[in-house]
A and B are shown apart, each in its own frame.
Chain A
Amino acid sequence: MRTLCIATCALALVMSLCACPSAAYAQEDNTIVVDGSTTVGPIAKAFAEYYMERHPEVNITVSESGSGNGAKSLLNGACDVADMSRFMKESEFKAAADNGIMPVAHVVALDGIAVIVHPSNPVKGLTVEQVRDIYTGKITNWRQVGGPDKDIVVASRDTNSGTYETFETMVMNKQKMAAGTEYYGSNGAVHKKVSNTTTAIGYVGLGFLDRKVKGLEVNGVFPSPETVKSGRYPIARPLFMFTNGYPKMGTHLYAFVTLYLSPEGQEIIETIQFVPVTSYAAGGSATAKKE
């Protein structure tokens, strides 16, 4: 019995030590903790993988617990980079200053919020007012917007989310959502809900628009990287990564956070369906409001 215990503990230790044999390294510069938005998450994860492949000694961990949690982690010094799909609020800046943190925003990409329905839904497009009425509960049946006679299942992001905040600001005009709205914790969950429910409506970032859901035209404009680039799509917003001050030049953090400026970074961003910052048309009418 005793030998069994000792053997098990030894085995566990040996297994963990064998995981990747390499020498000890300085903790500080070689770990980057990224936390925050589920919209920016795919970008952060793709960047992390790209960077870790070229710098095996660096460990980048990515959490996706929502823009608000990312901000909170940054303020507490718990993360190095906060992904946020909205700008920081005034109260967050104040709290940061109180904690001695100076948040600096890096706009890594542009995104549009697409309103999605199930592909079998015949409705082609809605106006912003119609979307607002659906979410506030004034419109409850697809029949009222030219679709089949079925009750609308309304899916929204949790209040945790920057996507939710942007939607609230740009579409809802700060009106409150209907009581029966179902809340989901991530873009992926809303996407899954809408792709499985024929009568559902939801909103996700552009990167989550694929064959399993149908994007609706909003005010006549279809959500796509091109329409966001040209500024025609009305619900567009920048995606941020916040750091504590500007990262010291030459550190891994600096290289990671400025990856979006390089051609490789922009190619990665385009691959996952977002809009690189530099391709946004000048004079575009749909610049996202800050708050």
Chain B
Amino acid sequence: MRLGTRKMLDKAFSGLGVVSILLLAAALLVILGPMIVRGSRAFVFHATVEHRRLMLEKFNRGKRSAVEAEIAEAAAARQPVYDMIAAFEQELKGMSVAERRNYRDTFEELKDALRELLGPFPDEKRPLVTREQYGETRWDGAKTKLHRVLNIETYDYGDGTELGTLVLVPRVNDFKGTSLEPLFGYLQKHTCDMLRPRLTFYWRFLFDTSYDAHFFGGIWAEMLGTIYLAIGAMLFAVPFGVISAIYLAEYAGEGRAISLLRSFISTLAGVPSIVFGLFGLAFFINTIGVSSSKSVLAGSLTLALLILPTVIRASEEAIRAVPQTYREAALSLGASRLWTTLTVVLPAALPGILTGIVISMGRAAGETAPIIFTAAVSVGRPLKVWQTLTQPTPALPWNIYNLATEHEAVDEIQHVQYGMVLTLILVVLALNVTAIILRARLSKKLRG
């Protein structure tokens, strides 16, 4: 090959390398981008007066006088709507049966759509299900709901041989000539007055419990559950892991038995996570019976098994990295093996061990398959510490799956889904960043 071709190939190869790195970065952006953008909408959004009413009634938050004044102003702006509805109902009474039947369905639809937007009508009984007690709490949701009030979505199927196309028919056409006709124009003009949107930073999303299966409120139960599971996994894995690492690094020789143990431990690292879940259910709950049903305890034990190899590996590396001179100095002063390990080697290796522990906690916090059958439920109260021994808990990873697939009103709570995913990613990333900072400090310490 000519030199020119070879040089060109070389440049092409470098270009290929750069492209692959760019693809990696693009993949990261494509995956994290929507999470961050849509997830932040759970925290920062335009909240309507309904949201503030919810905060006041359910969480006792906000200045009562100010919120009630706002509610009164909004009610005043809404009154014409309800007046027009009442007037139309009077009109209906005066119509013939056939005419009434004509209006019945579309009027009911209109009233339902209005209830979704503004909440229950002032003269109606307070609904029992929380989601019906309030109108739309988010401005972006309100715009969608207003759209549904103002337009009927129908499909034009043509002759029936093709998929239909979406057609929006303004609802006002159904009510031409009645007293409801000005309603739609009024709604469009005065939506802001009726809902009073205001930019809110709902940081309490992390610490509020959820109402009505995540329709309202925050994700505290899941956060707490994840914290319990991660800490529990650490509590069980760290003693076993660090002690095993000490043995393997300090005391063990290179014999057959030891290499067998080592290969067992690295095999544990390769077991798929769903097998851990099956084992946790079959062993911890059904055989040993650490708890009679799902519980945080069983889930922590299962997660501890999952992260054990990582803890052992990281601790062993950290202990090996401690210079031999430390040990020699201690031994020369007359310390025994154990004493040396406990008072000299371990403290020197501590940053590395901590790094391993923190990364493992991040892994434990993010795992779903081990906790499906051992610890996770969809709905539950935030647990107190002593309840974790016997009770299951909602957890971020499981509830992300639950909300993404099983929930009955997936679109209403889209911001909660993304908020949960964003929170989980941030928690895991925060733990990893902590580990990296620890590692950086470690290398400085040992070198200095």
Establish whether A and B are touching in the complex (CB under 8 Å).
Answer: yes
Residues of chain A at the chain B interface (Cβ within 8 Å): 1, 5, 9, 12-13, 15-17, 19-20, 24, 27, 31, 33, 35, 38, 41-42, 45-46, 48-50, 52, 59-65, 73, 76-79, 118-122, 146-150, 184-189, 191-192, 198-199, 207-208, 210-212, 264, 267-268, 271-272
Complex Cα spacing A184 to B401, Å: 13
Determine the distance from Cα of A283 to Cα of B161 in the docked complex, in whole angstroms. Answer: 40
Cβ of B164 to closest chain A Cβ, rounded Å:
4
**Are B129 and A59 closer than 8 Å at their CB atoms?**
no
Residue of B nearest to A267 (CB): B128
Q: Provide a sorted-by-A list of 16 A–B residue pairs whose CB atoms are within 8 angstroms.
A: A19-B224, A19-B382, A20-B384, A42-B408, A52-B381, A59-B380, A61-B391, A61-B392, A61-B393, A64-B378, A64-B402, A78-B292, A120-B166, A121-B163, A122-B158, A184-B405
B311 adjacent to chain A (CB < 8 Å): no
Asked if residues A122 and B224 are in contact (CB atoms below 8 Å), the reply is no
Interfacial chain B residues near A13, Cβ < 8 Å? 385
In the complex, chain A residues whose CB is within 8 Å of the CB of B411:
212
10 closest Cβ pairs, A-B complex: A78-B293, A61-B380, A186-B406, A122-B157, A62-B379, A189-B405, A120-B164, A63-B377, A122-B160, A188-B406
Q: Using Cβ atoms and an 8 Å threshold, which residues of chain A touch B220? A: 19
Q: Given known contacts A20-B381, A186-B406, what 5 new A-B pairs fall within 8 Å (CB)?
A: A65-B372, A78-B285, A148-B163, A188-B406, A192-B405
Contact with A along B218-244 (1 / 0, CB 8 A): 001000100110010000000000000
Assembled-state Cα–Cα distance A150/B161 (Å): 10
Decide: B163 and A198 in contact? CB cutoff 8 A.
yes
Which residue of chain B lies nearest to A190 when distances are taken between CB atoms in the complex?
A: B405
| Interchain Cβ contacts within 8 Å, total number | 156
Q: Is the CB of A41 within 8 A of B378?
A: yes
Which A residues are CB-close (under 8 A) to B332? none
A19, A50, A120, A122: the one within 8 Å of B128 (CB): A50
Q: Do residues A62 and B227 form an inter-chain contact, with CB atoms below 8 A? A: no
- Residue B132 lies at the interface, judged by CB distance under 8 Å to chain A: yes
| Contact indicator B161/A148 (Cβ below 8 Å) | yes
Within 8 Å of chain A (Cβ to Cβ): is B407? Answer: yes
Residue in A15, A49, A76 whose beta carbon sits within 8 Å of that of B212 in the complex? A49
A64 vs B407: C-alpha distance when bound (angstroms): 10
Contact of A271 among B132, B164, B377 (CB under 8 A): B132
Complex CA gap A52/B130 in Å reads 12
Selected from A1, A60, A150, A189, the residue in CB contact (under 8 A) with B406 is: A189
CB neighbours (8 Å) of B405 from chain A are 184-186, 188-189, 192
Does B124 reach chain A (CB closer than 8 Å)?
Answer: no
Chain A residue with the shortest CB-CB distance to B382: A19
A188, B410: Cβ atoms closer than 8 Å: yes
**What A residues does B406 contact at CB under 8 A?**
38, 41, 64, 185-189
Please classify the interface of chain B as helix (H, G, I), strand (E, B), loop, or mixed, using the class held by over half of its residues.
loop
Q: Is B350 an interface residue (CB 8 A)?
A: yes
CA distance A186 to B401 in the complex (A): 11
Give the CA-CA distance A62 to B393 in the complex, in Å. Answer: 10
Q: Which residues of A contact B224 (CB under 8 A)?
A: 15-16, 19
A42 to B379, CA, bound (A): 11
In the assembled complex, the CB of B225 is this many whole angstroms from the nearest CB of chain A, namely 10
Q: Bits for B71-93, please: 1 = Cβ < 8 Å to A, else 0.
A: 00000000000000000000000
Q: Mark B144-160, 1 if CB is under 8 A from A, else 0.
A: 00001000010101101
Q: Which residues of B contact A188 (CB under 8 A)?
A: 405-408, 410
Which of A38, A63, A120 lies in contact with B163, CB distance below 8 A?
A120
Residue of B with least CB distance to A69: B373
Closest B residue to A48 by beta carbon equals: B379
Kindly state the separation between the CA atoms of A267 and B125 in the bound complex, as whole angstroms. 12
B163 and A1: CB pair below 8 A?
no
Which residue of chain A has the shortest Cβ distance to B286 in the bound complex?
A76
Shortest distance in angstroms between B239's beta carbon and chain A's nearest beta carbon?
14
Give the CA-CA distance A272 to B402 in the complex, in Å. 19
Q: Contacts A1-B351, A16-B385 given; indicate if A187 touches B166 (C-beta within 8 A).
A: no
The answer to whether B213 has its CB under 8 Å from any CB of chain A is yes
Chain B's closest residue to A212 (CB) is: B411
Instruction: Point out the residues of chain B lying under 8 angstroms from A199, CB to CB.
Output: 163
Contacts of A31 in B (CB 8 A): 391
Residues of A close to B211: CB separation below 8 A: 49
**Residues of chain B contacted by A268 (CB below 8 angstroms):** 128-129
Chain B residues with CB under 8 A of A45:
212-213, 378-379
Give B177 Cβ to nearest chain A Cβ, in Å. Answer: 27
Give B118-138 as 1s and 0s: 1 = Cβ < 8 Å from A's Cβ atoms: 000000000111101000000
- The docked-state distance in angstroms from the alpha carbon of A261 to that of B317 is 64
B378-398 interface code vs A (CB 8 A; 1 in, 0 out): 111111111100111100000
**Is B246 engaged at the interface, CB distance under 8 Å to the other chain?**
no
Chain A residues positioned under 8 Å from B387 (CB to CB): 27, 59
Chain A residues lying within 8 Å of B376, measured Cβ to Cβ, are: 63
> Would B386 and A24 count as touching, CB distance under 8 A?
yes
Rounded to whole angstroms, the CA-CA distance of A52 and B211 in the bound complex is 11
Which among B153, B163, B285 is the interface contact of A122 at CB below 8 angstroms?
A: B163
Chain A residue numbers with a CB within 8 Å of B384 are 16-17, 19-20
How far is it, in angstroms, between the C-alpha of A27 and the C-alpha of B384 when the chains are bound?
Answer: 12
Q: Is B162 an interface residue (CB 8 A)?
A: yes
Check if B354 is an interface residue, CB within 8 A of chain A: yes
Indicate if the CB atoms of A27 and B390 lie closer than 8 Å. yes
- Given contacts A122-B163, A186-B405, A49 and B157 within 8 Å (CB-CB): no
Contact B227 A12 (CB under 8 A): yes
Name the one of B165, B377, B390 contacting A120, with C-beta atoms under 8 angstroms: B165
- Of A33, A121, A147, A267, the most chain B CB neighbours within 10 A belong to A33
- Say yes or no: is B52 at the interface (Cβ < 8 Å to chain A): no
